[in-house]
A and B are shown apart, each in its own frame.
Chain A
Amino acid sequence: MAVGNVGVVAATRPPLRVRVRELLDRERVLGPLFIAPALILIVLLVAYPFCVALYFSVSNAFIGRPSHFVGLKNFINLWGSDAFRQTFQNAFVFTGTAVACKLVSGISLALLLNQQLWFKRLTRGAVLLPWVIPTALSTLGWWWMFNSLYSVVNWTGIALGLMEPPGPNWLGQKYYAMTAVVVVNVWRGLPFFAITILAGLVSIPRELYEAAEADGAGPVTRFWYITLPLLKPVLAVVVLFSTIFTFSDFNIVYVLTHGGPVNSTHLFATLSRQVGLESGRIGEGAAISLYLFPVLVLVVYAQLKFVRKQTY
């Protein structure tokens, strides 16, 4: 009897293959299924490590030793360290200067690229190049260019009469080292600004300029009253993106100066590596890298709140 029952049920229900096929055609089933791999990846390798970082930051974790809860001691103790206070200041100086330089020269470069040019594609290609080459490797080139004995920057400066021989020891002196790090960051980030702003420029309707010109507006007036206001959303996106990635920069500082001389170019990422891995104080290192988090939150908030609303 029982066996017969199963046979009846199987006969009235469609075969498994068909049922799976029908199930997969439902959006409520297929959607979560398609999201699942990405979600699992993000939970296991982004969200979970973030929680581990939070735990480390409130513990006295040290490589190869059991750890204990110490509350907010790491976050507070950091303020007693000269290296950290210096890093905190560096991060804002570095990000502020670099993003401002990239914005101003990015707008200028985009305006130039928007002109009628003879080698348009080639020029764009050249401009974008620093952005696609591995940063760690191109920074090695800059390291050589800033070498204390053979600096080609100094050689050129002296040859042009801009510097007194032997010229600055770029990576060995406090302010010069910071300048060098900012220069390399601007070099690498400028293409992103220029090309993105150029895309914004191209989308501004020509008629606006023609109408303004007919009304007698000069190039400066047109830039100020047409270009800039219409570029605002693009500029906001670019600045927000760049702020978070400049603030959290690691590669350039690590290769060029290792944070030196005397911590004068350390950023949160490089200091957290030095403290957390090279000295083994993981708890403290995690606390340092978490100082990046408030900036991330601000940028994400601003992106979600203002920018995405405007572009959609």
Chain B
Amino acid sequence: MSRRKLRSKILAHAALVPFLVFALFPFYHMTLTSLKTDRELYDRAAVPLLIHQGVTFEHYAKLLWDTSFLTWTKNSLLVTVLSTAISLVIGTIAAYALARLKFFAVGSFGTGIFVTYLVPTSLLFLPLAQVVNWLGLGDSKWALVVTYPTFLVPFCTWLLMGYFRTVPKEVEECAMVDGATRIQALLRIVLPIAVPGLVCAALFAFTLSWNEFIYALTFTSSSEEITASVGVTTELIRGDSYFWGSLMGGAVLGSVPIVVLYVFFLDYYVSGLTAGALK
């Protein structure tokens, strides 16, 4: 490597540092806060960037045993797993139909899905709260299982349409010439080829519904029904004095499932992010 190249390489790394600090510092600070003793946390003379007076797990213990954090996490998991599974099935068959089959007004359905994909949740939460009440699902986590597919299905459909289009038609036609029905061809030929797309759609659906906030905040309110995001941001900050240690602990623990998935499937996240926007 020439010296000039090495120098520009080092410069690029140096220029990246501020971006990385900006991206990661909040997580570092949250984790740090959750592990500090109260005495150090509220000592205004202490340096806030490090832990000097020892690590403590009392904030986490308090969070797990004195609050309903575990119930909220269980709710989050239930809602997320169910709405992801439902949306994946509905999205897969819709995407297959839109990408492969010719039928009445197929083009306008595709456009309709795309438009729905762009509708922000904050536009519809007020009337949807009424619809949820009429369905008898007011203040119930089932309201979330029913409503999350409204933004997950368009996303999954859009993403999977792109993947299905990359599967060569001939592969499927071959199977059908050999006597397979279209549904058999879909299940045994197309879906196995599209597994990366399905994994990607599942990951994003999981992430989007785990992270959803406005519907969960609006449709559920009692401690037994709310999700982790809502529980941490509402129940832990009632009253005048906040317990910053436990609050940050809740924010950290509530992100753990996503971080775990993220670490294992980083490449899928990167490809899904660009596919979702560009295809």
Q: Restricting to B97-134, which residues have a CB under 8 Å from any CB of A? A: 97-98, 101-104, 106, 109, 111-116, 118-131
Contact A195/B266 with A34-B94, A35-B98 known, Cβ cut-off 8 Å: no
Chain A residues with CB below 8 A from B109, complex form: 35, 39
B278 at interface, CB cutoff 8 A: yes
Contact A56/B266 with A134-B254, A150-B48 known, Cβ cut-off 8 Å: no
Partner of A293, one of B106, B123, B146: B123
Bound state CA distance, A53 and B123, in angstroms?
A: 9
B25 nearest CB across to chain A (Å): 8
Secondary structure at chain B's binding surface: helix, strand, loop or mixed?
Answer: helix
Chain A residues with CB below 8 A from B255, complex form: 133-134, 137-138
Contact mask for chain B residues 184-228; partner A; CB cutoff 8 A; 1 contact, 0 none: 000000000000000000000001001101100110000000001
Contacting pair B233 A187 (CB below 8 A): no
Contacting pair B23 A126 (CB below 8 A): yes
Contacting pair A127 B124 (CB below 8 A): no
Question: What size tier do the contact residues of chain A reach?
Answer: 35 or more
A217 at interface, CB cutoff 8 A: no
For B27, B97, B121, which residue has the most chain A Cβ atoms within 10 angstroms? B97
Bound state CA distance, A133 and B274, in angstroms?
A: 18
A180 nearest CB across to chain B (Å): 12
Chain B residues with CB below 8 A from A44, complex form: 131
B249 nearest CB across to chain A (Å): 11
B65 at interface, CB cutoff 8 A: no
Question: What size tier do the contact residues of chain B reach?
Answer: 35 or more
Bound state CA distance, A152 and B50, in angstroms?
A: 11
Chain A residues with CB below 8 A from B116, complex form: 42, 46
Contacting pair A45 B273 (CB below 8 A): no
Contacting pair B130 A136 (CB below 8 A): no
Contact A49/B131 with A129-B27, A292-B120, A296-B123 known, Cβ cut-off 8 Å: yes
B262 at interface, CB cutoff 8 A: yes
B276 nearest CB across to chain A (Å): 9
Chain A residues with CB below 8 A from B254, complex form: 134, 137
Bound state CA distance, A172 and B254, in angstroms?
A: 28
Contacting pair B278 A41 (CB below 8 A): no
Q: Which residue of B lies closest to A137 (CB)?
A: B251
Can you report 11 A-B residue pairs in the complex whose CB atoms are below 8 A from each other?
A45-B128, A49-B128, A53-B124, A115-B9, A124-B270, A136-B213, A150-B42, A250-B213, A251-B213, A269-B122, A273-B214
* Residues of B near any A CB (own CB < 8 A): 8-9, 12-13, 15-16, 19-20, 22-24, 26-27, 29-30, 33, 41-42, 44, 47-49, 89-91, 93-94, 96-98, 101-104, 106, 109, 111-116, 118-131, 146-147, 149-150, 153-154, 157, 181-183, 207, 210-211, 213-214, 217-218, 228-230, 232-233, 244, 247-248, 250-251, 254-255, 258-259, 262-263, 266, 269-270, 273-274, 277-279
Report the 8 A-B pairs with minimum CB-CB distance, sorted nearest first.
Answer: A31-B103, A269-B122, A248-B120, A34-B97, A52-B127, A31-B101, A38-B94, A141-B30
